[in-house]
Amino acid sequence: MGKFLRDPSYWDERYRAGDHPWDRGSHAPPLEEVLELYPWKGRVLVPGCGTGHDVRFLAAAGLEAVGIDFSTEAIARARSFTKTPKAIFYELDLFSLPPSWNDTFDYVWEHTCLCALQPEDRQHYVHAVHRVLKPGGSLVGVFFLVGSSQPPPYGFSPPELDQLFGALFWLEKEWLPGRSYPGREGEELVRWYRKEVR
């Protein structure tokens, strides 16, 4: 079920057909709120970055922002829209990142990547982002509490998130964002996870 979700050509065709409702044309409002409350410095990875709105926003805030997506079409669009050298894009699969990326990111920003993965792929996601974060680094994300009747996107309850991330991360803080895209108000949860220092 849902094996097409791991096929880059499926997402390429969605972009070419203009069928990409997850792309709202601007950065995620909760990300703006996160950076106002807790300014970041350093290097951030955005998995499943799509056309790169969040990556460009993070770069404009002064971070070295790296976006990855396995969709050729998404990365081509992200690069065409981007003028700053602090926003970098790679056509890569999150589950096959080079070993040289291990322990090199201060942050991972999660927004609409995990919710597009089949349930059997979610632990692979957790291990992938854990691997690239520095010890003490942070995974910060906005998670859908309410999913689609025909996912993706998949929704997550807080206990489901606890079970998914609990073995490798500790939950530092969480809140309901005060800013969301229209129609998502009250349906999202911001969580800030920390990779333990060993």
Q: What is the pLDDT of residues 26-50, one digit of tens each?
A: 899 999 999 999 999 999 999 999 9
d(CA 142, CA 92): 22
What per-residue confidence (pLDDT) applies to 20? 82
Specify the length of the chain in residues. Answer: 198
Q: What is the pLDDT of residues 70-95, one digit of tens each?
A: 999 999 999 998 888 899 999 999 99
With tokens 């410095």, the residue in question is: 41
Q: Which of 76, 64, 71, 73 is nearest to 101 (CA)?
A: 64
What per-residue confidence (pLDDT) applies to 148? 65
Mean pLDDT of the chain: 91
d(CA 89, CA 76): 9
What per-residue confidence (pLDDT) applies to 180? 84
With tokens 């982002």, the residue in question is: 129
Q: In this predicted structure, which of 9-13, 39-43, 162-166, 177-181 has the lowest mean pLDDT?
A: 9-13
pLDDT of 175 higher than 60: yes
Domain boundaries defined on the chain: 3-13+27-195
User: Is the peptide bond between 152 and the residue preceding it cis, with omega within 30 degrees of 0?
Assistant: yes
What per-residue confidence (pLDDT) applies to 196? 84
d(CA 1, CA 10): 14
Domain with residues 3-13+27-195, CATH architecture: 3-Layer(aba) Sandwich (3.40)
Burial bucket for residue 70 (CB in 10 Å: 0-12, 13-18, 19+): buried
Task: With beta carbons less than 8 A apart as the criterion, state whether 68 and 44 touch.
Answer: no
Task: With beta carbons less than 8 A apart as the criterion, state whether 165 and 189 touch.
Answer: no
Task: With beta carbons less than 8 A apart as the criterion, state whether 93 and 38 touch.
Answer: no
- CB contact set of 114 (below 8 Å; sequence gap of 6+): 48, 122, 125, 141, 143, 156
d(CA 21, CA 24): 7
With tokens 């709105």, the residue in question is: 53
- When pLDDT is averaged across residues 177-181 and rounded to a whole number, the result is 89
Largest CA distance in the chain: 47
What per-residue confidence (pLDDT) applies to 82? 84
